[in-house]
């Protein structure tokens, strides 16, 4: 679309109706940029940049700053540096902020020593001018190198403390930067002794060793070897944890131990505050959110626990919508990425929580499985089937609600999904419920129905349970018939595996 008053009016109408729609703002900005309208582009950024936290918008902002300062010499170099610093202040903690950190480092490294641009970027090197006036060229070069090294090192050290997707590459670049510097001994000592608050597993052997030592120290302080009074002990142990978190900010277990220590001492508010800080430091850690919900429930605040699980459930629904293209990522905002296995856990635990507080949340409990099932049905065909979601919901109805009919319906709904129909553990969970109810006829029918499928017929696990079932509920003829069918369906080592287990399978209770 060309840049015209008509096209601009169209975009204005759209952004007025959808002021947080980042992709529209991006296209609007690209239109102005393509048309060379720098003043119009600047106005767009003033309107949307701080209100719409989109990294695509910030990338366009940097592009705009570079273009508008391209021919401004030293002043332009400083403007670009300031824009990059500003961008990192706002977006530097984002998981996708790696390119911005790299861009900032590249900009600082790109200035040539002795140029006005270099002097503007590194005013610390101004002493080099005096050295040059005195004729000390070698000293001047050394002073400039030190100024640049200090500035680049500062950016590297900030960049490698953020858990973004470019962390590994930036850490390798930082190691190379220090090792190729003028002082090899300094680099060796600095890289080997410095403890950065890196994510778990990113700090090498030294990080693991230091973490173990800190755990021992925290255990020692909590044991109160000096017999301190409660107030002094709380202050001392809190200080120890806070000091540990300087280096192990991204270790979930340190935060969990800190919160658990507060909770064990009856300080529920302090434990909740610790977990809130932990979620800021580790926004991608599901375990911290689940523990926070558990803490709220245990301390008599189920509303907060439900709110946490509802947030996680909405996160799963939005994540799936973004993946399927039905919801723009900018509208969804920052999401906690969760695997199907983690999603299964969230839904199951949410249903259990609502059952425990069902008087207050009865209407929500009734619809929860339907929401969970809709999410499970939206998973890609090749992803984990989330069979426990159905099994847990069914067993909840049976054991807590004493509603065997509802439990059967949930299992049957699951069998309508080919992924669950061909999941032996799901079938066996259904079988366990039927045998627990004493409904042996339907249990036998379930096994026969499932094993009639060509894929299921190759499952040694299902045939073993079928033989065990007939050994308990049938007669010898039934056992022999199942054994014949199994041998006909299985191949090679599968048959040997089945026969090796036959003596155990036919002993009641052995399975």
Residues 328-349 pLDDT 10s: 888 888 888 899 999 999 999 9
String of DSSP letters for 35-59: TT-HHHHHHHHHHHTTTS--HHHHH
Q: Which residue has the higher pLDDT, 349 or 227?
A: 349
Global pTM reads 0.58
Residues 368-415 pLDDT 10s: 889 999 999 999 888 899 999 999 999 988 887 678 898 999 999 999
Structure tokens at 215: 């755990």
* pLDDT over 70, % of the chain: 86
Alpha carbons 177 and 188: distance in angstroms, whole number: 12
* pLDDT over 90, % of the chain: 29
Rama region for 379: left / alpha / beta (φ>0; ψ in -120 to 50; rest): beta
As a three-state string, the secondary structure of 312-345 is HHHHHHHHHHHHHCCCCHHHHCCCCCCCHHHHHH
For 424-440, what is the mean pLDDT?
A: 93
pLDDT of residue 99: 92
Contact status, residue 317 vs residue 368, Cβ threshold 8 Å: no
String of DSSP letters for 442-491: HHHHHHHHHHTSTTGGG-HHHHHHHHHHHHHHS-HHHHHHHHHHHHHH--
pLDDT of residue 280: 83
Residues 463-478 pLDDT 10s: 989 988 988 888 888 8
- Whole-number Cα distances in Å, 372 to 17, 141, 347, 495: 32, 65, 6, 38
pLDDT of residue 508: 46
Positive or negative, the Cα torsion across 408, 411, 414, 418? negative
Q: Which residue has the higher pLDDT, 439 or 511?
A: 439
For 450-467, what is the mean pLDDT?
A: 91
- Look-up: residue for tokens 């040997």? 496
């Amino acid at each position: 679309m060309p840049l015209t008053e008509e096209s601009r009016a169209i975009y204005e109408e759209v952004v007025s109706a959808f002021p947080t729609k980042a992709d529209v703002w991006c296209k609007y900005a690209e239109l102005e940029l393509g048309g060379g309208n720098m003043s119009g582009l600047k106005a767009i950024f003033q309107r949307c940049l701080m209100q719409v936290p989109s990294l695509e918008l910030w990338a366009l902002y940097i592009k705009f700053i570079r273009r508008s300062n391209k021919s401004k010499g030293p002043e332009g170099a400083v403007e670009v540096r300031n824009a990059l610093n500003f961008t990192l202040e706002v977006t530097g903690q984002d998981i996708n902020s790696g390119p911005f950190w790299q861009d900032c480092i590249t900009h600082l490294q790109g200035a040539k020593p002795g140029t006005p641009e270099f002097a503007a970027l590194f005013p610390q090197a101004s002493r080099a001018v005096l050295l040059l006036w005195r004729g000390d060229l070698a000293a001047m070069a050394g002073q400039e190198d030190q100024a640049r090294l200090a500035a680049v090192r500062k950016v590297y050290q900030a960049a490698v403390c953020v858990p973004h997707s470019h962390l590994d590459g930036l850490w390798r670049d930082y190691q190379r930067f220090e090792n190729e510097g003028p002082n090899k001994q300094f680099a060796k000592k600095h890289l080997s002794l410095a403890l950065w608050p890196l994510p778990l597993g990113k700090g090498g052997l030294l990080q693991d060793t230091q973490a173990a030592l800190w755990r021992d120290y925290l255990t020692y302080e909590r044991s109160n070897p000096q017999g301190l009074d409660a107030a002094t002990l709380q202050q001392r142990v809190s200080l120890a944890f806070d000091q540990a978190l300087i280096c192990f900010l991204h270790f979930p277990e340190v935060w969990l131990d800190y919160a658990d220590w507060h909770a064990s001492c009856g300080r529920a508010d302090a434990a909740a505050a610790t977990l809130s800080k932990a979620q800021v430091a580790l926004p991608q850690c599901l375990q911290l959110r689940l523990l926070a919900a558990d803490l709220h429930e245990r301390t008599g605040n189920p509303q907060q626990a439900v709110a946490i699980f509802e947030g996680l459930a909405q996160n799963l629904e939005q994540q799936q919508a973004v993946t399927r293209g039905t919801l723009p990522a900018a509208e969804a905002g920052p999401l906690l990425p969760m695997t199907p296995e983690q999603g299964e856990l969230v839904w199951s635990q949410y249903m259990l929580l609502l059952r425990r507080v069902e008087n207050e949340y009865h209407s929500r409990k009734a619809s929860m499985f339907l929401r969970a099932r809709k999410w499970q049905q939206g998973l890609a065909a090749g992803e984990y089937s989330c069979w426990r979601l159905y099994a847990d919901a069914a067993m909840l109805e049976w054991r807590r609600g004493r509603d065997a009919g509802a439990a059967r319906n949930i299992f049957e709904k699951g069998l309508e999904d080919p992924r669950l129909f061909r999941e032996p553990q799901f079938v066996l969970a259904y079988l366990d419920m039927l045998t627990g109810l004493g409904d042996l006829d339907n249990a036998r029918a379930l096994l026969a129905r499932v094993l009639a499928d060509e894929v299921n017929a190759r499952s040694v696990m299902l045939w073993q349970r079928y033989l065990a079932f007939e050994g308990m509920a049938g007669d010898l003829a039934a056992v022999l018939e199942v054994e014949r069918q199994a041998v006909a369906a299985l191949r090679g080592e599968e048959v040997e595996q089945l026969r090796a287990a036959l003596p155990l399978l036919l002993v009641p209770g052995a399975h």
